[in-house]
Each structure stands twice: as structure tokens, then as C-alpha cells.
Amino acid sequence: MDHYVDIQVLPDPEFGQVDLLNALFAKFHRVLQQQTQGRVGVSFPRHGRLLGDCLRLHGSLPDLLNLQECNWLQGMRDYTRVSLPAPVPTGAKFRVVKRVQAKSAHNKRQRSIAKGWLTPEQAMLRIPDTQQKTLKLPYVELNSRSNGNRMRVYIEHGPLQSEPVAGTFSSYGLSAVTTIPWF
């Protein structure tokens, strides 16, 4: 993981930055499953309350060049500026960029009923919708390819680390343990 590519979402009068970043990330997610087998990670270098306007891909030079050659940005080129693959700067720190999920009250009820721990009536009383945890993390919204529902992928940038941790990334380019360079 010695190179990176920045993909910046450009301002557009018709589409908001968040919508464009969601579309960009959805395209990235689809191509990542097919092309890199867990070798490319992602970060959002300008994240804050929102994820910002830049998607940074981290990987080896061959993997990043392979991604650029497969034309996965078709339809997004007018809305983005893509850098050439560049080496990671010397002295970069490292961090984990991971997906965070909160179990919904509905899912907790379903599990309790399926396991026989509670009846449907007990589950409704003991696990009310108010028990639902709300995450205060930035996220991308995608359409689920399995059921078509809109879903949020909450993303957390972990603390800075001085040493990298090798491993693989999910089909979202995220990992709970593998680090990406941070600069």
C-alpha cells in the first residue's frame, strides 16, 4: 500500500456534493468487489461532520492503475477530478477507516423472538424503538443490491498510529484492523 489516488467531487449546480459522493462511492463499491480482492482501501481526507468532497484510494501502483483502466468512473467524469497515482509521502502516519453499525431496535426484537427469548408482545414492550442508537458519524447512502433498500454505511476514521497494520479490506474498502496511510 504505497500509492494513492484522490478523486475530488467538483461543485455542481444540479447535484449536491453529498449526492455525488454517494454515487461515486456506490460505483467504487461495485468495481472493488470485481477488481481488487481486498487490496484497496479508502479514506476521506477532508472528513468532519460530513465525509467531505474527496475519496482517497490506497493501494499498490498496479492495483490503482488496474482500477483506472477498467473505466469504473464512467458517468462521473464530469463531476470529479481524478489525480494520477502518487507515492505515499514519507513520514505518513496510519489509521484504521472502518464501518460502524448500530443494531436497530427492529433487528433486536426479531432476534429475541427467533431465539425464543421473548414473545412478539414482550419484544415490543422490552425493546421499544426509542432504544435505537443513533450514530453521530458521517456516512454514505447506497441502494442495497440485494433488496433495493436505501442503506447508510457509517464510517469512522480511527486514531493515528505510527506503524501500519497489514491485512485486507471489505468490499467497501474499509477494515476494522487494516490501516491506510494518513497524510
Q: What's the rounded Cα separation, in Å, for the pair 31 and 67?
A: 8
Domain count, the chain: 1
Q: What's the rounded Cα separation, in Å, for the pair 1 and 57?
A: 10
Task: Encode pLDDT of 7-47 as tens digits.
Answer: 999 999 999 999 999 999 999 998 987 888 899 999 999 99
Within-domain flag for 11: yes
Per DSSP, 129 falls in state G
Query: What are residue 157's phi and psi, to 5 degrees?
Result: -95, 115
pLDDT mean across residues, the chain? 92
Residue 136, pLDDT > 90, answer no
Residue 157, pLDDT > 90, answer yes
Task: Encode pLDDT of 59-106 as tens digits.
Answer: 999 999 999 998 899 999 999 999 999 999 999 999 999 999 877 788
Give the largest CA-CA distance in the chain: 59
Residue 116, pLDDT > 80, answer yes
CATH assignment at residue 82: 3.30.70.2540
Within-domain flag for 18: yes
Query: pLDDT class for 123, splitting at 50, 70, 90?
Result: confident
Expressed as residue numbers, the domain containing 74 is 3-100+155-182
The dihedral sign for the CA sequence 137, 141, 144, 149: positive
pLDDT at 137: 93
Q: What's the rounded Cα separation, in Å, for the pair 79 and 75?
A: 8
Within-domain flag for 81: yes
Look up residue 147 and give its three cell numbers.
433488496
**CB 8 within 8 Å of CB 79:** no
Comparison of pLDDT for 126 and 79, the residue scoring more: 79
**CB 26 within 8 Å of CB 9:** no
Residue 145, pLDDT > 80, answer no
What is the mean predicted confidence (pLDDT) over 130-141?
A: 83
pLDDT at 103: 74
Residue of 29, 47, 106, 157 marked active site: 29
Strand 54-59 relative to strand 3-9, pairing = antiparallel
Within-domain flag for 13: yes
Is 29 in the active site? Answer: yes
Within-domain flag for 134: no
Within-domain flag for 163: yes
Q: What's the rounded Cα separation, in Å, for the pair 46 and 134?
A: 23
Q: What's the rounded Cα separation, in Å, for the pair 118 and 120?
A: 6
Q: What's the rounded Cα separation, in Å, for the pair 86 and 58?
A: 10
Within-domain flag for 79: yes
Within-domain flag for 127: no
